[in-house]
A and B are shown apart, each in its own frame.
Chain A
Amino acid sequence: MIEQMSEPAGAADRPSPSFPPSLPGPIGVPAVQVSGVTKTFRTRAGLVEALADVDLSVAEGEFVALLGPSGCGKSTLLRVIADLETSTTGEVEVFGKTAARAREDQDYGIAFQQAGLLPWRTVAANVALPLELHDLPRKQRKERVAHLLDLVGLGDFAQHHPDQLSGGMQQRVAIARSLAEQPRLLLMDEPFGALDEMTRERMQAELARICAETGAAVVFVTHSIPEAVFLADRVVVMSPRPGRITGVVATGIGREVPRDDALREDRAFFAKVTEVREALHGSPVTGVGREER
């Protein structure tokens, strides 16, 4: 398991080594602290306010889902945390550092809606990419990649190329890659958005298992209500124009509850789904089977 993995040797050269996930960070420092962040894009049509005065805190080891319709700024918020975008105003701290510093220190792993694998690299070489970039010695790199591929159940596909894999398998490779440097924070931008429903449910269960094993904090962007409730400790509901947080629902499903099909059939789970849906639509839902779009 990851906890038993040795600290990468090359990590000593870096300004701040990534701790193994079992070690707690400085007491009271949240994984992510977003305060008063706004983000304005300048487009041909004029100024677009993608994020308006967003505050959000994610604790160590906490799983937070960002939920909302298209254009509510949930992806932008994630990209601001990842330092792929710079916020117009406000502050973002990751483990008490600036977002830019956290990125340079490799404090998070990231996965996108598209797997984004490099097509000319094998599965193993794709997972090894971040390790290679940060000069982990070859031998340790190999061990770590083998371990990660086992973790996502792709040990037999190490030498395959991405185009030989199904969409779900590619996405699992991308998740393995995001875990490569044992980050204590995972940023995931609709990682299962392009998958079919069956694959999607299986991947959700796997992600829940992996998160339980690694103990990493997760910020997970999605537009699926059941997915958010199934995975998260807290569901942060956002609304568009301008993008802002309109509600937070604690799911109350503990970490110790296994994420399996039994949970999906649970009455309490349905109740939470309804609660989140109401938070999303801003009014009690009447009737059954209203779609969450």
Chain B
Amino acid sequence: MTSTAMTAAAPGAAGLRSRPLDGVGARLRAPLQGMLGLLAVAALWEGYKALAPEDGVVIGETRVLPRTSDLAMPHVWDMVARLGEPTTSLPGAVPLWRTVADAALVSLGIAAVGWLVGTAVGLGLAVLMARLRIVELGLLPWIVLSQTVPLIAFAPVVRSWGARIEIGGWEWPPWLSVALIASYLAFFPVAIGALRGLQSHSAIHADLMHSYASGWWSTLRRVRLPSAVPYLLPALRLGAASAVVGTVVAEVSTGFLDGIGRLLVSYAGQASGDPAKAWAPIFGAVALGLVAAMFVTLIGVLLRPYRRGEAT
């Protein structure tokens, strides 16, 4: 049951790093295979577009595979080329990639705030749960359960908070609703992963610290936190991915105007006239997810000393 978070988090770690690296040839192989993988996806797209009927694959009355017209499925190269062209036909319009990058940066900032808050709360709660068993008993089942239900469903409801909450002269800004949902989604995997990590130290280390008459906090700092790192990193990565998804979805469902979410919806609305344009914000969203994951990878590099294989 509790494996939900970790299993879903694994691909980045397990998929890429399990390859043994020996020699330069092998080191080049992973990026080469990665490129080939992306090319294969593009080839699949173009192949389907070339071979399948114009109106898609229809079984009975329902279309199970999409239409292949240029309107529905633009060529991959058209999507890429469109990024370099101006956003609109108005004179002085910035190139499309620029518009997308600006929006993606706004979303990235919001996602980062959400991730930070969610991670901080998740870590704090994990420490509390590790300290007080009764808190763990009372909360953990709910946290685990909440991983399996679509919590994000309530995103549209939060929209109402934006206009209603006013504390003193301070008004609840719309981006805060988005960040709140992002942090909320990032919190759960971090709390679960961190707790599992804090409980992962070996019995022998616990005995050792006990024999040193070391206190709980000292043991936390010297043994439990360091040994939690290998569990924490996948949790942080999952948390980052959740924060990004949460941001994009929340932007759409709360009607937030400056982020990538609005571009996704509004450019798709223009797809009948400019089909390639709709793909630009998708690339932006992909980049957003990758940057977030890379950031966590960077944290992993900084924490590398704590990821050494467990010595006997």
Contact = CB atoms under 8 A, between A and B. Distances in A.
B211 A163 contact: no
B231 to A, nearest CB: 14
A92 B214 CA distance: 21
B308 A119 contact: yes
A110 interface: yes
A114 B213 contact: no
A194 B311 CA distance: 13
Contacts of B213: 103-104, 106
Interface string A101-116: 0011010101010111
Contact of A120 (B202, B210, B211, B305): B305
A149 B226 CA distance: 24
Interface stretch (A26-34, A42-50, A128-136, A262-270): A128-136
B142 interface: no
Contact of B212 (A130, A167, A194): A130
Interface in A10-41: none
Contact of B204 (A83, A104, A112): A112
Contacts of A82: 211
B120 interface: no
B210 to A, nearest CB: 6
Nearest to A111: B208
Contacts of A112: 204, 207-208
Nearest to A116: B204
A84 B212 contact: no
B204 A114 contact: yes
A170 B307 CA distance: 18
Nearest to B309: A163
Given A117-B311, A162-B311, A163-B311, A84 B211 contact: yes
Contact of A118 (B214, B226, B229, B309): B226
A161 interface: yes
B306 A120 contact: yes
A82 B202 CA distance: 18
Given A106-B212, A110-B211, A161 B308 contact: yes
A115 B312 contact: yes
From B205, B305, B311, residue with most partner A Cβ within 10 Å: B311
A110 B208 contact: yes
B208 A163 contact: no
Contact of B214 (A133, A170, A194): A133
A49 B213 CA distance: 27
B293 to A, nearest CB: 24
Interface string A122-148: 000000011001100000000000000
B208 A170 contact: no
B202 A116 contact: yes
A277 to B, nearest CB: 30
Contacts of B210: 83-84, 103
Interface centre among B210, B218, B307, by most chain A C-beta atoms within 10 angstroms, is B210
B23 to A, nearest CB: 22
Contacts of B305: 120
Given A104-B213, A129-B222, A133-B218, A116 B208 contact: yes
Nearest to B209: A133
B220 interface: no
Contacts of A167: 312
B311 A170 contact: yes
A134 B212 contact: yes
Interface string A60-84: 0000000000000000000100111
A161 B204 CA distance: 18
Given A84-B207, A116-B208, A118-B205, A163 B222 contact: no
A112 B208 CA distance: 9
A119 B212 contact: no
B80 interface: no
Contacts of A119: 308-311
B73 interface: no
A103 B214 CA distance: 10
8 contacts: A114-B312, A116-B207, A118-B226, A130-B212, A163-B308, A170-B311, A170-B312, A194-B312
Interface of B: 202, 204-205, 207-208, 210-214, 218, 222-223, 226, 229, 305-312
Nearest 4 CB-CB pairings of A with B:
A162-B311, A116-B204, A119-B308, A119-B311
Given A82-B211, A106-B212, 9 more contacts: A83-B210, A84-B207, A103-B211, A115-B312, A116-B205, A119-B308, A120-B229, A120-B308, A161-B308
